[in-house]
Amino acid sequence: MPDQSPLLSLSKLSLRFKGQPVCAVEDVSLSVAAGEILCVVGESGCGKSVTAMALMGLLPPGAAEIHGGVMTFDGQAFDLTKDRVPSDLRGGRIAMIFQEPMTSLNPVFRVGEQIAESVQRHSGCSRGDARLRSLEMLRCVGLPSPERLLDQYPHQFSGGQRQRVMIAMALANDPRLLIADEPTTALDVTIQAQILNLIRDLQRDTGMGTIMITHDLGVVADVADTVAVMYGGHIVESGPMTEIFENPQHPYTIGLMASVPRLSGPRQRLTTINGTVPSIRQMPSGCRFRTRCAFAAETCSTRPAQAEVGPDHSVACHFAPLEQMLKVAG
Amino acid sequence: MTAILEARDVKKHFRIGGGLFGKAALVRAVDGVSLSITSGETFAIVGESGCGKSTLARVLMRLLDPTEGEVVFDGTAVTHASGRTLADLRRNMQFIFQDPFSSLNPRMTVGKLIGEPLEIHAPQLSAKDRHAKVADLLAQVGLRREHAGRYPHEFSGGQRQRIGIARALASGPRLIIGDEPVSALDVSVQAQVINLLSDLGRDLGLTLILIAHDLAVIRHMSDRVAVMYLGKIVEQGTTDALFEAPRHPYTRALLDAIPDPDDRNRAGRPQIDGEMPSPAAPPPGCAFHTRCAHATDRCRKVVPVPDETSDGHMTACHHWRDIVDAPRQPFPLNRSAATKARLDLYRKATEGAKITQIAQPKPDREEMR
């Protein structure tokens, strides 16, 4: 995998929404290199989408207080507590695709116009050139007869086709970084496989970096080079994909792996993670996972620091690695 | 083994469009489905969006009237029932909905929500008995007695789905149909609800029909599986047979498409192209031929007849016997020794084993806040 200075790095992002007692995202650091896919994994409310929004400068001003965080993109540093992420980065050098392609496309404009608009906005080219570029992009994402589709409206497309249009729009300005927020969650599995293959192919061809947000460990195994596991606004474990699967350290990572229903292996009762994600008002102090953790002890009321457990692999748990710290009694 | 629910050549067609100027289109949502559900089993119906699985579930419950065919519950024709008979059927067949956020009335307390089916189906109960019964039901689905006074918005998605399950159990049904009961839930909570449904099915001797799009979920909780494509069942068999040796090319494609954490073959998995055609204009012959790698002229012209082998495994494909000779290679469980040891320790801890600490956390791991 490419070993160079990261395309994007985020250092210690902390933010709190107005009226909430604790930070929704706390001390989140991550980095992604060109040509690499970073998967941010976690369940609803873990802060994965909020982190992406902050990176894109999409959080509504006034709704969230950013307490800290420095983003470095392509050699430029932004102090997120003061600087606004410049709007010409969005949709230009950083592009984003969302989960629900129907609500992300404008229903009253033809698809071709919507792609062309973004091309014109960022490159300042003529309408004719922008239209040619739209056509090229629709072809590039594997849509059949793109000349005809250019003049159609979003409702005339299926879910999978709309997601292809979103990808065409996102990639029209040759972004260096793509942020994909659950891009296949709303799609059927056979279509999901097509879209994941498409993103992987395009990413290989263009050498862009990708941050993919997902809740599905299967998708992670499929596309990720590196992984960050989030719980309750903290990154609890991060590392190269194979390390995460072959040397998982955090009880939450292990619990997630145990609770995914599998296609192979014994058909046994599923292991679960007890309870549910606490609301932000009931977030425990110290390790935020401790209220659901099968191994929680008194120590866990102090927050564990990120500790390196392998090359580029770090974990925030007092009891890692588990089998050296704990055993079944008797 | 007796059949509790039978569907015989059920069809449900919807007429859409038309209006003043357009020509009406006929959507063949369910197009000739026959099923026989055995008492006490968990039967899964899987397929992608638009395959007709939810419509079929609603026809089985008679939330919709079929266009053709009939449904029989324990000797009673569901399709023609009315009055007292229909009320009895409703008591015996209950439904769990997909979305726990929109299927519970936000203005009713949980106690009232669960008590409502009791008022209808067990009017002889006094208010006191009803409250006791509601408390029992709450306990059965893993909620607490005091939750009865709260409103749905105070609960998480998984808890709401438990409320939905308690509501379905209230009338003492023999059959429950769940339409994607766990697909709106987070992974960790999904596993809890799957385990709950399995336990209830076993303890109460319930027959469960589960509608789902996720084959991995189905594998863990069903005895038999039917795979639907464009209004028809294309393959049906026991869960083990269907997952180990899928016969229909569509079943294989579905299985291949699911990303699994243990499958880390980075070369990319085989993929089927295209999308499911519209049920308003199904292709001639085998409906799957437009996406099938094995399609021949025969598939494009002749509708395949369901072919059932002696083990009861049904496949609707002209060529399954040729394809099945090249069995699908299941990927091995790809787990390192460390992963296995930790998953094992985790499983034991969640099952209540006592865990002792054998080493002290390193001091540099702690950071006072």
The total domain count for chain A is 2
- At residue A1, the pLDDT reads 46
Q: Report if residue A117 sits inside a domain.
A: yes
Would the pLDDT of B172 be above 70?
Answer: yes
Say if A132 is an interface residue toward chain B (CB within 8 Å).
no
Say if A97 is an interface residue toward chain B (CB within 8 Å).
no
Going by their DSSP bridges, the two strands B307-308 and B314-315 should be labelled as antiparallel
- At residue B326, the pLDDT reads 63
Tell whether A282 and A166 lie within a shared domain: no
- Tokens matching residue B12: 């449900």
Name the closest residue on chain B to residue A190, using Cα atoms. B257
Contact B49 A188 (CB under 8 A): yes
Say if B339 is an interface residue toward chain A (CB within 8 Å).
yes
Tell whether A80 and A197 lie within a shared domain: yes
Contacts of B258 in chain A (CB under 8 A): 189, 218, 263
Q: Which of A270, A281, A288, A302 to probe the B interface (max B CBs under 10 A)? A: A270
Domain at A84, CATH number: 3.40.50.300
Q: Report if residue A3 sits inside a domain.
A: no
Q: Which of A113, A139, A172 is the last residue of a domain?
A: A172
Q: Which residues 287-306 of A are in CB contact (within 8 Å) with B?
A: 294-295, 297, 299, 302-305
Would the pLDDT of B6 be above 60?
Answer: yes
- The residue among B258, B226, B211 whose CA lies nearest residue B98 is B211
pLDDT band at B171 (very low <50, low <70, confident <90, very high): very high
pLDDT band at A99 (very low <50, low <70, confident <90, very high): confident
Q: Which region holds residue B69: left if phi is over 0, alpha if psi is between -120 and 50, else beta?
A: left
- The residue among A169, A170, A172, A175 whose CA lies nearest residue A114 is A169
pLDDT band at A186 (very low <50, low <70, confident <90, very high): confident
Q: Report if residue A209 sits inside a domain.
A: yes
Tell whether A17 and A153 lie within a shared domain: no
Tell whether A83 and A208 lie within a shared domain: yes
Q: Which residues 38-97 of B are in CB contact (within 8 Å) with A?
A: 48-49
Q: Report if residue A311 sits inside a domain.
A: yes
- At residue A4, the pLDDT reads 60
Q: What is the mean pLDDT of residues B104-116?
A: 94
**pLDDT tens-digit series, residues B290-315:** 999 899 999 999 999 999 999 999 99
Would the pLDDT of B21 be above 80?
Answer: no
- At residue A2, the pLDDT reads 45
**pLDDT tens-digit series, residues A282-315:** 899 999 999 999 999 999 999 999 999 988 999 9
pLDDT band at B57 (very low <50, low <70, confident <90, very high): very high
Q: Report if residue A330 sits inside a domain.
A: no
pLDDT band at B267 (very low <50, low <70, confident <90, very high): low
**pLDDT tens-digit series, residues A231-244:** 999 999 999 999 99
pLDDT band at B363 (very low <50, low <70, confident <90, very high): low
Name the closest residue on chain A to residue B223, using Cα atoms. A267
**pLDDT tens-digit series, residues A198-221:** 999 899 899 999 999 999 999 999
**pLDDT tens-digit series, residues B23-39:** 788 899 999 999 999 99
Tell whether A194 and A251 lie within a shared domain: yes
Range of the domain at A192: 8-93+178-262+270-325
pLDDT band at A92 (very low <50, low <70, confident <90, very high): confident
Arithmetic mean of pLDDT over chain A: 90
Name the closest residue on chain A to residue B199, using Cα atoms. A269
Of B187, B195, B355, the CB nearest to A43: B187
Q: Which of A155, A172, A189 is the last residue of a domain?
A: A172
Q: Report if residue A313 sits inside a domain.
A: yes
Say if B215 is an interface residue toward chain A (CB within 8 Å).
yes
User: ipTM score here?
Assistant: 0.87
Say if A67 is an interface residue toward chain B (CB within 8 Å).
no
**pLDDT tens-digit series, residues A67-77:** 999 999 988 89
* 3-class secondary structure per residue, chain B: CCEEEEEEEEEEEEEEECCCCCCEEEEEEEEEEEEEEECCCEEEEECCCCCCHHHHHHHHCCCCCCCEEEEEECCEEHHHCCHHHHHHHHHHEEEECCCCCCCCCCCCCHHHHHHHHHHHHCCCCCHHHHHHHHHHHHHHCCCCHHHHHCCHHHCCHHHHHHHHHHHHHCCCCCEEEEECCCCCCCHHHHHHHHHHHHHHHHHHCCEEEEEECCHHHHHHHCCEEEEEECCEEEEEEEHHHHHHCCCCHHHHHHHHHCCCCCCCCCCCCCCCCCCCCCCCCCCCCCCCCCCCCCCCHHHHHCCCCCEECCCCCEECCCCHHHHCCCCCCCCCCCCCHHHHHHHHHHHHHHCCCCEEECCCCCHHHECCC
Contacts of B355 in chain A (CB under 8 A): 294-295, 326-329
Question: B200 and B115 in contact (C-beta within 8 Å)?
Answer: no
Question: A37 and A240 in contact (C-beta within 8 Å)?
Answer: no
pLDDT band at B268 (very low <50, low <70, confident <90, very high): low
Contact A265 B331 (CB under 8 A): no
Tell whether A165 and A184 lie within a shared domain: no
**What residue type is assigned to position B182 of the chain?**
V
**CA separation for the pair B185, A300 (Å, rounded):** 27
Tell whether A195 and A222 lie within a shared domain: yes
Tell whether A229 and A286 lie within a shared domain: yes
Q: Report if residue A142 sits inside a domain.
A: yes
Q: Which of A115, A141, A172 is the last residue of a domain?
A: A172
Tell whether A106 and A151 lie within a shared domain: yes
Q: Quick count: other Cβ atoms within 10 Å of Cβ A180?
A: 28
Of B186, B258, B346, the CB nearest to A271: B346
Tell whether A162 and A302 lie within a shared domain: no
- At residue B30, the pLDDT reads 94
- At residue B170, the pLDDT reads 94
pLDDT band at B115 (very low <50, low <70, confident <90, very high): very high
Q: Report if residue A201 sits inside a domain.
A: yes
Arithmetic mean of pLDDT over chain B: 89
Q: What is the mean pLDDT of residues B271-292?
A: 90
Tell whether A64 and A146 lie within a shared domain: no
Q: What is the mean pLDDT of residues B34-53?
A: 93
Name the closest residue on chain A to residue B263, using Cα atoms. A221
**pLDDT tens-digit series, residues B175-213:** 999 999 988 888 888 888 999 999 999 999 999 999 998
pLDDT band at A14 (very low <50, low <70, confident <90, very high): very high
Question: B262 and B62 in contact (C-beta within 8 Å)?
Answer: no
Tell me what percent of the residues of chain B surpass a pLDDT of 90: 60
- At residue B184, the pLDDT reads 83
Tell whether A82 and A192 lie within a shared domain: yes
